[in-house]
C-alpha cells in the first residue's frame, strides 16, 4: 500500500471517528464521567499502532500478490465480476469479521491478546482500535487466506474494509439508537446496541454477537443476543489491573500477565443517559 493510499484510509477512519465522537455528545448511551483522558490517550496510542501494523501487512500482501499472482477459484470457475464482488464482501465479513473474532474468544492463547479490547471499562469510539498487534495479524490472516484461495477481487476487499472500518467505529460509539430503529436494523446489521451487548461482563453476552457488519452469521450459528439490555450493560473484565489497562505500555504487556482477565457476572449497573423513544 502506497503512503498516499495509507494516508487516505487513515483520513477516512479518523473522519468517521470524529463523526462518532460528535454523535456521542448529542445522543450518548451512558454518561461519560468514567472515561478519563489517560484511558483515551492509551486507546489512541494503540489506534496509531494498529494503523501502522495494517499498513505494513497490506504492503507485504500487495508485494506478494504481484510476485505470485494467484488466480483464485472464482476466476477459474468463470464467476461474473459482480458476483465475485458480492460473494467476496460476504465471505470476508464472515471470515475476517465473525470467524476470527469468535476464535479470539474461544482460544485461550488468543484471548490473552483480545482481552485488551474487552478490558476497557467504558466503550466509545476510542475503543475501536484498542487492539494488540498480535490480534491485528490474526485478523489479517483470516482475510488474506480467502482472498488468495477464492481470488476475491480488489473491489470487494476495498468495500468490505471500508464497511468494517466505518461500522467498527460506529458500533463502539457511545450512542443510543431509538429502540424501534435498533430493532429494525439489528435484524440484519450490527448496530451500536447489539455490539454493546458483546462488551458486557456477563459471560453469556460477551460470548455472543461476534459479527462486525452483518448479524447473519450470529443468527444462523446461534450466537446472537438481542440488544434489549444494552442500556444496562456493565463493561470491562474481572481480573484485569485498572492501572495497567490505562496506559499504553500496560496494555501491550497485558497478554503476558500471569492470569488473563475474564468476563464475569456484573454486580453493578451504570446509569444510562436520558432515554428517548
Query: Secondary structure of 209-220 in the HEC alphabet?
Result: CCCCCECHHHHH
User: What's the helix, strand, coil split of the chain in %, to 5?
Assistant: 65, 5, 30
- Asked if the structure places residue 272 within a domain, the reply is no
Joined together, the cell numbers standing for residue 226 give 438481542
Strands (E), the chain: none
Q: What is the model's pLDDT at position 1?
A: 62
Q: What is the model's pLDDT at position 6?
A: 76
- Asked if the structure places residue 277 within a domain, the reply is no
Number of domains in the chain: 1
Residues 167, 89: contact at Cβ < 8 Å?
Answer: no
- Asked if the structure places residue 185 within a domain, the reply is yes
- Asked if the structure places residue 265 within a domain, the reply is no
- Asked if the structure places residue 245 within a domain, the reply is yes
Residue 272 backbone phi and psi in degrees, to 5: -75, 165
Task: Look up the pTM and report it.
Answer: 0.87
- Asked if the structure places residue 270 within a domain, the reply is no
Separation between Cα atoms, residue 231 and residue 206, nearest integer Å:
15
Angle between the N-to-C axes of helices 37-68 and 133-150, in degrees from 0 to 180, rounded to the nearest 10: 30
Q: What is the model's pLDDT at position 83?
A: 92
Contacts of 18 (CB under 8 A, 6+ apart): none
- Asked if the structure places residue 263 within a domain, the reply is no
| pLDDT tens sequence across 2-23 | 677 778 888 989 999 999 999 9
Q: What is the model's pLDDT at position 271?
A: 40
Residues 153, 81: contact at Cβ < 8 Å?
Answer: yes
- The residue segments making up the domain with residue 118 are 3-256
Per-residue burial over 59-96, b = 16 or more CB atoms within 10 Å of its CB, e = otherwise: eebeeeeeeeeeebebeeeebeeeebbebbbbbbbbbb
- Asked if the structure places residue 42 within a domain, the reply is yes
Mark the ranges of the chain whose per-residue pLDDT is less than 70: 1-2, 33-35, 62-71, 242-243, 245, 258-277
> Residue 128: exposed, middle, or buried by beta-carbon count in 10 A (0-12, 13-18, 19+)?
buried
Q: What is the model's pLDDT at position 267?
A: 38
Query: Which letter does DSSP use for residue 124 in this model?
Result: S
Amino acid at each position: 500500500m502506497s503512503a498516499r493510499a495509507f494516508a487516505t484510509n487513515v483520513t477516512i477512519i479518523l473522519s468517521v471517528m470524529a463523526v462518532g465522537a460528535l454523535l456521542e455528545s448529542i445522543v450518548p448511551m451512558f454518561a461519560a464521567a468514567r472515561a478519563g483522558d489517560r484511558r483515551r490517550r492509551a486507546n489512541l496510542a494503540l489506534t496509531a499502532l494498529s494503523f501502522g501494523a495494517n499498513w505494513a501487512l497490506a504492503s507485504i500482501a500487495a508485494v506478494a500478490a504481484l510476485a505470485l499472482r494467484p488466480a483464485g477459484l472464482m476466476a477459474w470457475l468463470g464467476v461474473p465480476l459482480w458476483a465475485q464482488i458480492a460473494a467476496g464482501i460476504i465471505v470476508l465479513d464472515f471470515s475476517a469479521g465473525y470467524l476470527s473474532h469468535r476464535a479470539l474468544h474461544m482460544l485461550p492463547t488468543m484471548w490473552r491478546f483480545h482481552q485488551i479490547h474487552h478490558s476497557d471499562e467504558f466503550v466509545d469510539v476510542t475503543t475501536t482500535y484498542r487492539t494488540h498487534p498480535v490480534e491485528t495479524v490474526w485478523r489479517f490472516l483470516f482475510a488474506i487466506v480467502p482472498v488468495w484461495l477464492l481470488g476475491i477481487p480488489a473491489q470487494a476487499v476495498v468495500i468490505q474494509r471500508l464497511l468494517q472500518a466505518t461500522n467498527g467505529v460506529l458500533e463502539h460509539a457511545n450512542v443510543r439508537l431509538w429502540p424501534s430503529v435498533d430493532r429494525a436494523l439489528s435484524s440484519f446489521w450490527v448496530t451500536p446496541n447489539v455490539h454493546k451487548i458483546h462488551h458486557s461482563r456477563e459471560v453469556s453476552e460477551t460470548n455472543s454477537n461476534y459479527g462486525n457488519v452483518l448479524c447473519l452469521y450470529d443468527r444462523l450459528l446461534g450466537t446472537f443476543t438481542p440488544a434489549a439490555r444494552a442500556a444496562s450493560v456493565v463493561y470491562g473484565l474481572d481480573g484485569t489491573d485498572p492501572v495497567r489497562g490505562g496506559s499504553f505500555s500496560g496494555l501491550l504487556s497485558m497478554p503476558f500477565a500471569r492470569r488473563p482477565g475474564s468476563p464475569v457476572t456484573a454486580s453493578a449497573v451504570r446509569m444510562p443517559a436520558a432515554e428517548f423513544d
